[in-house]
Each structure stands twice: as structure tokens, then as C-alpha cells.
Amino acid sequence: MSIRIDVVGDDAALEDLWDWLGDDRDLRGRCRLASAPVRPGTMGSGTEIVMDLSNLVASGSALLSGVAAWLAYRRTEGRRTTPTVAVTTPDGHRFEITADEPAELERLLTALSGHLHRDDDPAA
């Protein structure tokens, strides 16, 4: 089982998030880059960050804290736009997280808690 993380429409920001998460000792080695599934209406797939839920049990709060900290950092960096981080759960439910909507992180954690001990993985 896995969750998929993407920065909507910004491959450079995805690489920045990847680096940011890799600097966290609790997350280092627990995430990987993978090709995103082709979505209807698109010409191909991009890259996204994938984290196995077995790793999420041990480091889920670190992942969500890392995403929240990265979004806050990007916002204070003086950029005109703050990226949107899309997280897709194993059942295909998509959460879009921005620096302006941190409560979505809590909804995501609640949604993920139901998947932590299940064996099905439609997102894999």
C-alpha cells in the first residue's frame, strides 16, 4: 500500500519537496520517486513521490509535518504563488494541501489511518 504525493503543475517544486523531505532523518530512505499514472486527458505521466504505508506507520507525522513546513517555507520565500501539494490515498481519494489550508493535513491523516493495516492497494 502506498500514498502518492505531487506538487500540482510544478515539477521543479516537486524536486524541491523531494530534497526537503530527504533532509529529514525520519523520512530519509522511506520515500521514492516514481512515474505517476497517466491521468485521463493528459499526454503522459510525470513524476511523483511515493511512500509505502508500512513506512507511514513509523513516520506519518514526520511526512505531514515536513509537507506543512515546506509549504510555509515556500510561502515566506517571497514567491508569487504557493504550490499545492496533492496527496492520493490508496483508495484514490485526493487531498490538495496549501499553506492556506493546513486543516486538510488533519483530514488526510484521518483518512490514512483507516488504511494502515489493510492489504488492498488500488493506488499501487
User: Residue 75: what pLDDT?
Assistant: 80
DSSP-assigned letters across all residues of 42-56? -SS--EEEEEEHHHH
Task: Give the residue extent of every domain in the chain.
Answer: 2-113
CA distance 62 to 56: 9
How far apart, in whole angstroms, are the C-alpha atoms of residue 73 and residue 51?
22
pLDDT score for 124: 45
Q: Give tens-digit pLDDT for 13-70.
A: 899 999 998 898 888 888 888 887 766 665 555 788 888 767 666 666 777 788 888 8
Backbone dihedral region for residue 29 (phi beyond 0: left; psi -120 to 50: alpha; all else: beta):
left
- Convert the pLDDT of each residue in 75-111 to its tens digit: 887 766 778 888 888 888 888 888 777 677 778 777 7
The H or E element containing residue 4 is strand 2-7
What integer pLDDT is reported at residue 58 of this predicted model? Answer: 63
What pLDDT is recorded for position 99? Answer: 75
- So what's the pLDDT on residue 19? 92
